[in-house]
Structure 1
Amino acid sequence: MPDWSYRTLFRPLLFLIPSDSARDLTLLAMGSLSKMPWGSLVIRTLGHMESYPILETSRFGCKLKYPVGLSGSLDIHGKAQAALAQFGFGFIEVGPITTLEIEDSRMIVRDIENEAIHYPNAYVNEGLQAVISRMQKKQGHRHPLMLRIRQMPGSSAEEAMLEQIDMLDKLRAYASGFYIDVIDELWSLEQIENILINIREKAKKLDPGLPVFIYIPLDLSLDILNYLLNKLELHLWQGIVIGDYIHSDQGYTVGHRGLQIGIEKTRLIREACKGELAIIATAGVHQPQDALDYIDAGADYIQLHSGLVYSGPGLPKRINEAIIYERIRTVEPHPMPSFWKSWGWMCLLGIGMIFGGVMAWVIAATRVMLPYDETFLGTAKTSLMHMNHNLLPFMSHDRITLAGTMISLGILYFQLGKYGLRQGQHWAQTALLASGIVGFSSFFLYLGHGYFDPLHAFVAAALFPMFILAMRVRADEPSREQPNLLNDRTWFMAQWGQLMFVVLGFALAIGGATISIVGITHIFVSTDLAYLESTHDGIGQLNPHLLALIAHDRAGFGGALFSDAIAILATSLWGISQGRKWVWWALAAGGFPGFLAVFSVHLNIGYTNFWHLLPAFFAVIIYVLGLIWLFPYLMKIKIERVER
């Protein structure tokens, strides 16, 4: 459920149903997908969160791959942790955890205008024993677990301390760290101080290396906070977690309005403890800029809650990319690789495909068949014209569409090579690798009916070494382009544009696979035979080798279209980033020759059956819409800010 599907389709639908039902449905769907064969691969493929050493940290005994964590309140039963762990999170909070189960039948309420969620009770959870049972099972991920423990409501200070110590003992085998959520403003300052000191001492006796964090409620009064910062020996703790709930008579609210309160508390805590403690900020992060504001105030890590609901599951990835950019923008970049090291070969491959496509188009639009085609058939093309007056135009139609697809693919390869591979972008290399493997493998489809095309074999043999040379160096450089930081109207429109191109990529992949399968099996569809005014057997009776020749054209076109679809799909999934102008031009220029070939040849030969051309009309509509909606985002043209 990436942002391009969540913000455009799923969020509007989910927001039509009660919050509890929407949450349970979403978690069930993601959890079920992660448990399916290849489910985790699908999630990673759609999101493609790349890992870079610059994001990794090793503090308080934990190695964190990313500086972004997931709030436990979003998935209190851990149903979808295996799926959520793929979104770019470095650690996962489990909790709150209390000794006994806490239930509340009242509804969770969304406040869409203020991007907030109102919980009737912030401490609903399944209880200690249920959490232990869950921890004893396979988690489905290897992320560090930060367990937030809380005393039962109404506990006295003494009871709270004993409950916390008991949970520390019983849960320490499963925890990478603990959030000690014990502060209650009903107690005196001395009581709070005494409880925290005793819990820390007991934790040290249980396990000297056990990381423990003080959990500071977001709305904790400044008097209590200042008292604790001055009185506690902060160096004995691994860090401080600033919560995200604001308590009121109606319950507990978490949302974007907590951001400024959280930033102020972060700044105050950082000034008090300097660089000694890790600070985890959790309130109101709904866009990458919010996370950067926290980091500027002194936070080390960010934990997401309401932002994931309102902004979408792509938020952790966007934050990671923003942090990467901030950390490397002042660092001298590595020298660009030479033209001949990798990326130049891909550019030459793209140019070769463009040139080959243009030549194929010229031939298909004029003589249609080459001499070796006639040799294979044992007859001249003039004889075929007398056998069936639509036969040569039909073959021209197959070959021109193949030529247009080759040109489109060549343009994409050239752009991905010049800008993606040259900049060391792993996503671009992955896109080219997947597309190239499919494209070169599809050559064998030509042989499905026993026809060996020497020209295609020569072109494939000439281009394949370029592909190998282009792929031989691993691309793993982080992008130096400034990523999107705001959930503004330009970004939201881009989600629709990205959706259009993802749909286009999937549609073309289905179309390419279908054409290939038809080409190596039935060869024709019903509209083809209607245009030819004949039957499958009737065409076969005209010449014993004719079906094999036509099948070769169809299967080849289907394979090329499938390869083109993978390049478009991968670019749409992973390459859409604000200000990346070359991606817009690659998609625009790459699509034009393909659509020009399809519509021009069908009109020229009179093959204008509505149902046959309907997929092409559908494809061109979403292609144009995608370009329109992506244009401001990729060209970095500011559109009015969305009102919160």
Structure 2
Amino acid sequence: MYRIIKPIFFKFDPEKIHHFVVKRLKWAHDSLPLGKTIIRSSFDVNVHGLEREVFGIRFKNPVGLAAGFDKNGEYVEALSSLGFGFIEVGTVTPLPQPGNDKPRMFRLREDEAIINRMGFNNKGVDTMAERLRLLKQKEPGIVVGGNIGKNKNTPNEEAVSDYIKCFDRLFDVVDYFVVNVSSPNTPGLRALQEKEPLMHILNTLQGRNRKNEISRPILLKIAPDLSDEQLDDIIDIVKETGIAGIIATNTTIERHNLVSDQTVAAEAGGLSGKPVRKRSTEVIRYLHSRSGGAFPIIGVGGIHSAEDAIEKMNAGASLVQLYTGFIYEGPGLIKRICKALLKGKDL
């Protein structure tokens, strides 16, 4: 069915059709008679054998939705009914911000990829927190991750205050946190991946984490463009700060071997989809091998098939996330991955 609908979707601007589709999904899920039941019976994968516990959280299956798809936590319940084992919302910032100028999302069809320069467009952490509070009351079983960032106008020297505000506001309504310092679309943000500023942010958040009666797993999302030496620093940082794990990887600024229209391929922003699959897997394998499997890794980047997901897990990922593959392959991809895992094709 999705193969029939996708060419129609792809005739429209990527950002506009994204909002149109998710709004219609939510409407069908929430408002149509038996809408929720029909969607779940068609897509949800709720069977024994897929569950796994990672950083102290029980996941019904290891296939999640990556951050960026639901920036404000508006569609979590409907998206969960498509079969995802967990939903990561955001990136959210303390204050609302519009993001970068449009157009800011581009399809590279021949490469099965997307370039985006959204720029952390979101309605602010207060709006998200209230929405997730209501969701947790209604559907407490959905695992939700909160991906947090800094506002564009916040200087890097003051960035830690933005991460603290998001952490404190979302603490009671998410199951884990992701510190995003790897988006290429906020000026200067990636400088926070350097060891000193990153240690400061993570140690500060961990300090607040330990003061609470319960703690939340904190993960770090990293870029695929890091060198081996920088990845070694990341391993040291995880061990020294005691954070729960890594998400590998975010989008790339590289543009190697693309076959799509070069005018589109040259657009500024982060590249996701099939072209990043190999590098993302290399980063996962390096981190897992070099650290001796010392911490969990969520693998994301170029997963367009069950084989791609299993490749990430064989490289050392405990969980995987979809974004661009979900757009190109449709919701059936979640079930295909889960079925393959049930057949014992994973680790």
Q: Please say if 1:226 is aligned against 2:232.
A: yes
Structure 1 residues 30-429: aligned runs within 5 Å: 30-36=25-31, 37-47=33-43, 49-103=44-98, 104-107=100-103, 108-138=105-135, 141=139, 142-153=141-152, 155-182=154-181, 184-187=189-192, 188-233=194-239, 236-247=242-253, 250-326=268-344
Please tell me the residue identity of whatever aligns with 1:143: I
Return closer, same or farther for 1:73/1:241 CA change in 2, 3 Å cut-off. Answer: same
* Structure 2: stretches of 5+ with no match in the other structure: 183-188, 255-266
Q: Please say if 1:20 is aligned against 2:20.
A: no
Please tell me the residue identity of whatever aligns with 1:189: K
* Structure 1: stretches of 5+ with no match in the other structure: 330-644
Return closer, same or farther for 1:138/1:208 CA change in 2, 3 Å cut-off. Answer: closer
TM normalised by structure 1 equals: 0.48
Pick 1 or 2: higher relative contact order, CA cutoff 8 A, min separation 6.
2
In the alignment, what sits opposite 1:500? none
Separation in 1 of the partners of 2:240 and 2:83?
Answer: 30
Separation in 1 of the partners of 2:102 and 2:228?
Answer: 31
- Per-residue Cα deviation, 1:63-86 (whole angstroms, up to 9, x for no partner): 110100012312223443322212
- 1:234: how far off? 5.5
Separation in 2 of the partners of 1:73 and 1:227?
Answer: 26
Name the SS for the 1:247 alignment partner.
Answer: coil
Separation in 1 of the partners of 2:230 and 2:154?
Answer: 19
- Per-residue Cα deviation, 1:405-442 (whole angstroms, up to 9, x for no partner): xxxxxxxxxxxxxxxxxxxxxxxxxxxxxxxxxxxxxx
Considering only CA atoms, is the larger Rg found in Structure 1 or Structure 2?
A: 1
Work out whether residues 216 and 240 of structure 1, in 8 Å CA contact, stay in contact via their aligned partners in 2.
yes
Greater CA deviation, 276-285 or 116-125? Answer: 116-125
Separation in 2 of the partners of 1:326 and 1:213?
Answer: 28
- Per-residue Cα deviation, 1:160-216 (whole angstroms, up to 9, x for no partner): 112112221111000100011236443553232333223222222235431111221
Return closer, same or farther for 1:207/1:260 CA change in 2, 3 Å cut-off. Answer: farther
- 1:252: how far off? 1.9
Work out whether residues 157 and 195 of structure 1, in 8 Å CA contact, stay in contact via their aligned partners in 2.
no
Separation in 1 of the partners of 2:237 and 2:22?
Answer: 42
Return closer, same or farther for 1:272/1:199 CA change in 2, 3 Å cut-off. Answer: farther
Please tell me the residue identity of whatever aligns with 1:95: G
Separation in 1 of the partners of 2:54 and 2:241?
Answer: 14
Work out whether residues 40 and 83 of structure 2, in 8 Å CA contact, stay in contact via their aligned partners in 1.
no
Equivalent pairs, count: 323
Task: Give the root-mean-square deviation of aligned CA atoms.
Answer: 2.2
Please tell me the residue identity of whatever aligns with 1:275: G
More strand by share: 2
Work out whether residues 288 and 318 of structure 1, in 8 Å CA contact, stay in contact via their aligned partners in 2.
yes
Name the SS for the 1:53 alignment partner.
Answer: coil
Return closer, same or farther for 1:231/1:15 CA change in 2, 3 Å cut-off. Answer: closer
Structure 1 residues 585-624: aligned runs within 5 Å: none
Separation in 1 of the partners of 2:303 and 2:276?
Answer: 9
Work out whether residues 118 and 252 of structure 1, in 8 Å CA contact, stay in contact via their aligned partners in 2.
yes
- Identity rate, percent: 27
Return closer, same or farther for 1:206/1:118 CA change in 2, 3 Å cut-off. Answer: same
Name the SS for the 1:233 alignment partner.
Answer: helix
- 1:235: how far off? 7.7
Separation in 1 of the partners of 2:92 and 2:219?
Answer: 15
